[in-house]
A and B are shown apart, each in its own frame.
Chain A
Amino acid sequence: MTPQHVSPKKPPNYPANMEASMVLPRQRMSPAASLAGLPYRRSNPSLHKLFESTASISGSRPNSGTVTPTPSVVSGSVFSPGGRQNGTGTPGSLPPGLSDEHRNLIHRAFVPHVAVLADADADKLIRGKGLEGGFLQLLRPFGESVPGKVTIRDSVGASKSYDDFGIRFVDGNNEAAAGRGAEPRIDTTNTPRTSSSSIRPRRTGGDVAHIEELVDRHLQYSEFNTQDMVSDYLNQGNPNVPSEGTSSPFYTLYLRRLLSGMPMVPHETFAHPVAGIIAISSQSQNPIEEFRKLYNRQHDGDLRLPQWAENDYLRYYVLIHDEENGDIAKSNQTFDAMKRHFGLHCHLLRLKSQQCIPSDDDSVRLPTCEWMPASEELAEIQKRETVDDMTDPAPYLPDSDITAIRTFVRELVAQSVIPNMERNIATLNEQVLARRRGLSGRFMSLSKRWTTFGSSRNSSSPTIGSSNSNYDSLQGFYRPDTPEAQMRKLADYCFMLRDWKLALSTYDILRTDFNNDKAWRHYAGAAEMAAMSALLSPAPLSSKTKMENIDTWIEIASYSYTDRQRSAAPYYALRTLALGLELLRLRSFSVADDAARWASRILENGLVGPIGAALFTERISACYAVRTGLGTLRLGTRRRKAAMWSVMAAETWFRLDKALQAEKCLDAALRLYGINIEHGQGGAVKLPFDQMQSFIDDLRQQILGLRLQNRGFADGEEEGEEGVGEGEQGGEVEEATEAFNSSPRLHRKSLIGAVAPLIDMNGPRSPMLERERESRGLGEEGFQ
């Protein structure tokens, strides 16, 4: 039961008017023409690499032990962090049959950001190695997962080790500029931007339209790429039923891109740099002076952060030594001088300056960035599409460089960033939070509230009514030195270091404060993160009141993010709901309904475009499918709901011309229906309503038609329609469905696997089908 009120969502446009949907295929161009017209269909190896890397990272991640692992279609690349994800990151019991893939994803999304600033010499040195992006590009992939275990001491002094900790390297150069125009530009008007020129490679994410387009690209690729088919074909021997815990790789990709490149905004400090790296090359004449210059530019010069961001973060000084042209004695000398001047936060990074090619002895490919924002990946895809280069453009590095960088990153994180954050947390906890929590703090906030109340009653202008609060309501932020901003920073630090308990209590206090100050977006942010930290904490949380609290928080956050007129931030609302639904889904069976409710809220509020809508429809089905029910009678199961949403998803995918996805959803739906229907012994399952049956059969036929068309069979078109036409007669229809029930892969393979140009959709010419039909005919008689 969904308590929210009637949505204005337009009713799903089902192809019940069969004429309309049957015309659809005809409007499309002939395959040859569309092949030429669509640039992304062209597949060159480098492009393939790009798609494959993302898809394999998101798709083939092994799940926690309880899930039957799905054989990965593409074996993960050497660098894809596969085995580490076995749920060791954070302890937390998980209902069996679920993978905590998405919880890990969320853990790895909220990580400290480190700004990188390099001088011209250093960047030149790196460019000489074939990396156009300079030092930042070199570092970025290595920050995503810090090698080895990282030990973090939480606020009560207990230390825990995590092996999936990471940091995000961001550009210290244009970050300030990007930050000033920080309002994430989001239009969810359902027009995916297709013009390539409009996309600038930006390093910040938060743009739903870009995410949509990117996922669409990936979908197109999988749709039109034969490679998928081949491995499907190879899997034919053991038609493996994907377990409910796993989700479509595209959904994972969507989530990942949603969480990549968080924009820098006043109301949360996740994207604010926790530390800044200042790097210079050893070629520099006067290194110390150079460091000072860069520091000054960053601290109060042109690279300064906007005024709502804390500017006194940790600085880390790196001297890049050129192994081939530099003098190590001189570099060591400089390094000693650095240590004298700047203290411990220094590092000497020794790199080779010459370019490395793949055929070199110990060359290693620079790993792909997992967490690049959608706009950047889109730009990358477009770049590779336009270049007819058959080689993989990713730069290669000598092994020694990789080791040096890994060591550097580990040292940076383990010895500087994390201790510094821990120290910050301790200090803020003592000085700000404790004071606020104490008696005087409560009194202060109370008196503030009362005076605010009094003044707003007296003064005629309500906009400056809250003169007593620290909130700058005109510009909409707290200055970084106000207690509220510091507490938010404290809470965010706790969140990033996975100290959920302290984070939760801090967010809770902040929530009331922001509410009193009418800082709506801050309020929404605090409520959102309160809900997230409550859901992420491994402690059991079964009590009814707690769950209700979380519900309220998610509700508040999504409401305040979207609906306060002046500060609509649908991106954040989407993030709240999506993360909330994922975490709720993992929480327990009983709240799976809530998860599904939030997912449908996403659809109802129109926070996503067409691709997202399809993905989230699929997700609702997955949410319901988690509820398996109790006992032998399966009381309280939600299979029928799950099945319905799967059908919806299949239909949505079909309308988006994504035959593969549609088929997958339809298979899932039938599997769900099949389990619920008692009398189906080993195959001949019929849906209870005749209308449902015929609807599904029609959909199946249309999807098959679309599939053939996507494969480039021109003849498939009429054949497909013929199939639809015949489907209405009833007998044929049952056959098609049953074929999938008895063996989901068999039927399709017989169509697709064949290379013959003309394939009869109705199947009688295919011996496999013929055989099936016979056996089924027998089965059917027995059944009726």
Chain B
Amino acid sequence: MSYTFTILSPTDTPLFTHEFGTSRSGGDGVPRFTATERAMNPFILHSALDIVEEVQWGTSSSSGSAAMYLKHIDKYQNNFISCWITGANVRFLLLTRPRDEALGLGSGGAGSQRGSLAGGRAGLGGNAGGVYNPTSPATEEAVKNFFVDVYEVWVKTIMNPFFHVGNGDVVKSPVFRARVAAAAKKYL
């Protein structure tokens, strides 16, 4: 599985972007985006903000306070997007691209599926075991842990008096990046 993690300011400016692969089940932590997917990712993340803005005002499941972790909110083709929103309306977006096998696509590839009409359902209905499910408790928990760690580091970063999120200051700190990478390695 490959991930793109982006922090967006309230004015939709990306402040930090990090790409990584899974470290679970023998993954080496290297993202496996194809060039086309990589070009699409910003578009997908950006378009997910529409949904974020809708979900963030919705009723919260946690009593009293609104939830910061919005869970899986959007999906574009095979890309799943989870979101965490901070009190200052800074959005953490995590885009997950599961491997094809995890989506139930055979090695035959998507190309052969597309033309055949009978194959139309094979992919859609392929809800059997092993398919990536963004709303399964295990996935949600892992993503949540990741976000919690990142949030902690983020809070420390914005405590820096020379750093202004509102001005669209991009996070350049190598420490921050290392921490995010560590959290990613730990949980995803």
Contacts and interface: CB of A to CB of B under 8 A. Distances in A.
Interface of A: 1-2, 4-17, 188-190, 559, 562-563, 565, 568, 570, 604-607, 624, 635-641, 643-644, 647-648, 676-679, 688-689, 691-692, 695
A1 B55 CA distance: 11
A544 to B, nearest CB: 16
B115 A11 contact: no
A189 B49 CA distance: 36
Interface residues of B, number: 53
26 contacts: A1-B75, A5-B125, A5-B131, A6-B103, A6-B123, A7-B78, A7-B123, A8-B113, A8-B122, A10-B111, A11-B36, A12-B36, A604-B77, A604-B124, A605-B120, A605-B121, A606-B115, A635-B53, A636-B53, A640-B49, A641-B51, A644-B43, A648-B43, A678-B11, A689-B14, A692-B43
Contacts of B38: 16
Nearest to A689: B42
A679 B10 CA distance: 13
B173 to A, nearest CB: 19
Interface string B14-44: 1000000000000000000011111111111
B168 to A, nearest CB: 9
A220 to B, nearest CB: 23
B50 A6 contact: no
Contact of A11 (B110, B119, B124, B132): B110
Given A688-B12, A688-B46, A11 B114 contact: no
B114 A9 contact: yes
A11 B34 contact: yes
Given A5-B123, A644-B44, A638 B50 contact: yes
Contacts of A568: 117-118
A606 B42 contact: no
Contact of A606 (B57, B75, B114): B114
A643 B47 contact: yes
A5 B126 contact: yes
Contacts of B73: 1
B161 interface: no
Given A8-B119, A13-B36, A688-B12, A647 B124 contact: no
A10 B109 contact: yes
Contacts of B54: 635-636
Contacts of A16: 35-36, 38-39
B77 A9 contact: yes
A605 B120 CA distance: 5
Contact of A563 (B37, B110, B115, B120): B120
Nearest to B35: A16
Max chain A C-beta neighbours (<10 A), residue from B11, B43, B109: B43
B47 A9 contact: no
B121 A689 contact: no
Nearest to A627: B50
Interface of B: 8, 11-14, 34-47, 49-51, 53-54, 57, 73-75, 77-78, 103-105, 109-111, 113-127, 131-132
Contacts of B46: 640, 644, 688-689, 692
B40 A559 contact: no
A14 B123 contact: no
Contacts of B45: 689
Contacts of B37: 11
Contacts of B36: 11-17
Contacts of A12: 36, 40
B112 to A, nearest CB: 9
3 closest residue pairs by CB, A with B: A8-B123, A10-B110, A8-B113
B14 A570 contact: no
A676 B126 CA distance: 38
Given A10-B111, A692-B42, 18 more contacts: A4-B124, A6-B124, A7-B77, A9-B114, A14-B36, A15-B36, A16-B35, A562-B117, A604-B120, A605-B124, A606-B114, A606-B120, A637-B53, A640-B47, A644-B47, A647-B43, A648-B43, A688-B8
A594 to B, nearest CB: 14
Contacts of B51: 1, 641
A2 B77 CA distance: 9
A201 B35 CA distance: 45
Contacts of B75: 1-2
B67 to A, nearest CB: 17
A639 B50 contact: yes
A776 B79 CA distance: 38
A573 to B, nearest CB: 9
Contacts of A570: 117
A570 B103 CA distance: 24
A2 B120 CA distance: 16
A382 to B, nearest CB: 26
A308 B104 CA distance: 42
A212 to B, nearest CB: 13
A643 B119 CA distance: 30
Given A688-B46, A692-B46, A562 B39 contact: no
A403 B127 CA distance: 62
Given A635-B54, A688-B13, A6 B104 contact: yes
A6 B105 CA distance: 9
Contacts of A605: 117, 120-121, 124
Contacts of B126: 5-6
Contact of B39 (A4, A6, A14, A676): A14
Nearest to A17: B35
A562 B40 CA distance: 30
Interface centre among A188, A604, A641 (most CB of B within 10 A): A641
A267 to B, nearest CB: 18
Nearest to B9: A688
A289 to B, nearest CB: 51
A677 B107 CA distance: 41
A11 B49 contact: no
